[in-house]
Chain A
Amino acid sequence: MNAPLPAPPLATPGPPLWLLAEVTYRCPLHCAFCYNPVDFARHDGELATEDWLRVLREARAAGSVQCGFSGGEPLMRDDLEVLVAEAHRLGFYTNLLTSGVGLDARRAQALREAGLDHIQLSFQDSTRELNDFLSHTRTFDLKQRVAGLIKDNGWPMVMNCVIHRLNIDYVENIIDMAVALGAEYLELANSQYYSWALLNRDQLMPSRAQLERAERIVNECRQRLGDRIRIFFVVPDYYETRPKKCMNGWGEVFLTVTPDGTALPCHTARMLPGLDFPNVRDMDVKSIWYGSEGFNRYRGDAWMKEPCRSCPDKEKDRGGCRCQAWMLAGDPAAADPVCDKSPHHGKVVKAVEQASDPGWKGGAKPLIFRDPRRSRELGAVEKSAAGA
């Protein structure tokens, strides 16, 4: 018998293994780093229950196996239990990504009975409530209640916290909070600068000194805490010189369906110009995945330009993130400017230098908090910010 792992690679493109069902953009919170599109309020008209049930069936038939229910706050939909039950029946591994707002004992039990496999609970310091968050008061009470429900239902305890300039100095408090809540895994995810976080980049981007200190503290906590909790610390890609292989490759693994039924290779891809993404109301999942222009455009490497086209690393990172290329280089087919071979890398360096300058005043601007009114006002900002 041969060595156990890994299995031979799947044909390209393989099936859409990961289905992210963004069931609603509604959310009671106002995070300044929210990953929903800035103009989310324009995309109302949520898919009905029957549409989602059909999408689940089609995706499963196309080979999807992990299903994440996210939003917005997915608990805002009162048919969530129905969707989870169908996903479970179809053989999906079901994940709920939630802030915990709206989860009570009754719903937790209903979700358990529906076959929900896992809840990822976010510490959503909406930044407006940073002090409250850090002083463990209201947020802590809520998370404690939800953590108790997660434990009572036998789900693994996975916590996530978005890290940024305003809370990065308190990673140790955040880790201790996660431990106190009984988390087995904690993901400290540095904010990525898309959507609302891009609007607030000046205020949210940590300095290099902050980042290095946080990394050191995380390592010390890992030593101190040993097996009690596994901590993942995701460094912001602005501090790297090579981009990440965004979404594990465009159209290779991930399929996102937005609240209004638009199918995307990644939850921010909607911002890209000149690309029509299909809607699950008009096309079935298999045709969307294998046959649509939106999904095929940036598959493989035929679309690449220099310096990526002749780069020895192009298989490794696929030229990075298309959205970041659009936002910073003004061309979705350019190299991700995080790469130091990109002619636009200077913009990333400048943002990092600014954030690291002790005299930097940009951080004093007021934050723009996500809410529907702001979203309508700012509908055009994200597009006009491109190339800036």
Chain B
Amino acid sequence: MNRENIAETAAPLAGACPKVSRRFRLQWEEAQQSWVLLYPEGMVRLNRSAGEILRRCDGTRTLETIVGELEQSFGASDLAADVGAFIDMARQQQWLEAGAGRP
């Protein structure tokens, strides 16, 4: 990953709609009771919070919307920083489309 990409991922823009990369497939696995990310010959098993964030990264919701939804379903406030940090990490892992949904 080059310098420019890193700078980009470090500050998710307000109004951006993160979207799971087409290189991965996100799906619910009953047998594992979790969301997983599938890719060629591999799988990342996500814990509950990661799954709840990623399944909302469908390219139609802004980061603010995602945070709002999560705060509501987890009965929490101030999740913005945690969600933002996870989104950064997910971008670095290339789980999310680079720059998708940017204004």
Which residue numbers of A lie inside 8 Å of B, CB to CB?
1-8, 10, 14-15, 17, 62-63, 65-66, 68, 91, 93, 95, 117-118, 120, 156, 158, 185, 227
Question: Quick one: which of B23, B43, B74, B89 contacts A65, CB cutoff 8 A?
Answer: B43
Do B44 and A5 have beta carbons less than 8 Å apart? Answer: yes
Using A10-B32, A65-B29, A227-B1 as known contacts, say yes or no to A5 and B41 having CB atoms under 8 A apart.
no
Please, which residue of chain A has its CB at the minimum distance from the CB of B35? A7
With both chains docked as a complex, state the minimum distance between the C-beta of B38 and any C-beta of chain A, in angstroms. 4
- Report how many residues on chain B are interfacial, defined by Cβ distance under 8 Å: 33
Q: Interface readout for B6-35 with A: 1 if CB under 8 Å, 0 if not?
A: 000000000000000001010101111010
Residues of A within 8 A of B31 (CB): 15, 62-63, 65
The residues in B between 29 and 80 inclusive whose CB is less than 8 angstroms from any CB of A are: 29-32, 34, 36, 38-50, 53, 70, 74, 76, 79
Do A4 and B89 have beta carbons less than 8 Å apart? Answer: yes
Residues of B within 8 A of A68 (CB): 41
- 17 A-B residue pairs with Cβ-Cβ distance under 8 Å, sorted by A, are A1-B49, A4-B47, A4-B86, A5-B44, A5-B47, A6-B47, A7-B48, A17-B32, A62-B31, A63-B30, A65-B32, A65-B43, A66-B41, A66-B43, A91-B27, A120-B41, A158-B40
Residues of A within 8 A of B30 (CB): 63
CA distance A120 to B2 in the complex (A): 27
Which residue numbers of B lie inside 8 Å of A, CB to CB?
1-2, 23, 25, 27, 29-32, 34, 36, 38-50, 53, 70, 74, 76, 79, 82-83, 86, 89
With both chains docked as a complex, state the minimum distance between the C-beta of A239 and any C-beta of chain B, in angstroms. 24
CA distance A209 to B46 in the complex (A): 42
Residues of A within 8 A of B40 (CB): 95, 117-118, 120, 156, 158, 185
Residues of B within 8 A of A62 (CB): 31
CA distance A95 to B46 in the complex (A): 21
Choose among B38, B41, B47 the residue with the greatest number of A CB atoms under 10 Å from its CB.
B41
Residues of B within 8 A of A10 (CB): 32
Do A1 and B74 have beta carbons less than 8 Å apart? Answer: yes
Do A118 and B32 have beta carbons less than 8 Å apart? Answer: no
Residues of B within 8 A of A7 (CB): 32, 34, 45-48, 50
Please, which residue of chain B has its CB at the minimum distance from the CB of A118? B40
Residues of A within 8 A of B83 (CB): 1
